[in-house]
Amino acid sequence: MGMTGTLPVPQPCSLYEGLETVVASVVEDFVILFQATVEDVKSSETLQAADRVKLMASLSDAFNKMVSSAGRVAPKLSELGVANDVLSRLAEFVRIEFPQHSSAFVEILEPFGDRLAEVYG
């Protein structure tokens, strides 16, 4: 018999679980970079509050795209993507409609994002 007869054939369930694990690992790496960047934005002494909100909205958008893509492969992750999309839209709304509240919003956004990650992650 050829080599094909000696190789194990992966079961669909274990293949999907393996793919889900890889996707979760990639998302986790992205989240680590995301959190480090958020910390840099928060601790910057040169950024104005409105610029911070703008950067947070941009970061949230990138995060949402990552989670959305991952959610197509690993559906449980897509719930977190929806939650993050809402945060992104709220950040943009605050930046445009209530710029005077940008500092407070940035202060609240990160811990709330962590709470969402606990709930949906």
pLDDT tens-digit profile of 20-55? 778 878 888 888 888 889 888 888 889 898 888 888
Q: Looking at residues 83-107, what average pLDDT do you find?
A: 87
State which amino acid sits at residue 49.
A
Q: What is the pLDDT of residue 97?
A: 93
pTM for the complete prediction?
0.49
Q: Which residue has the tokens 């934005």?
A: 41
Mean pLDDT of 54-66: 86
Judged by average pLDDT, the poorest of 6-15, 61-70, 73-82 is 6-15
Task: Output the furthest CA–CA distance in the chain (Å, rounded).
Answer: 75
Instruction: Give the residue-averaged pLDDT of 78-95.
Output: 80
Domain ranges in the chain?
A: 13-37+47-120
Indicate the pLDDT class of residue 76, thresholds 50, 70 and 90. Answer: low
**Angle at CA 47, nearest 5°, toward 42 and 53?**
65
How many residues are present in the chain?
121
3-state helix, strand, coil in the chain (%, to 5): 85, 0, 15
Query: Is the separation of the CB atoms in 90 and 116 below 8 Å?
Result: no
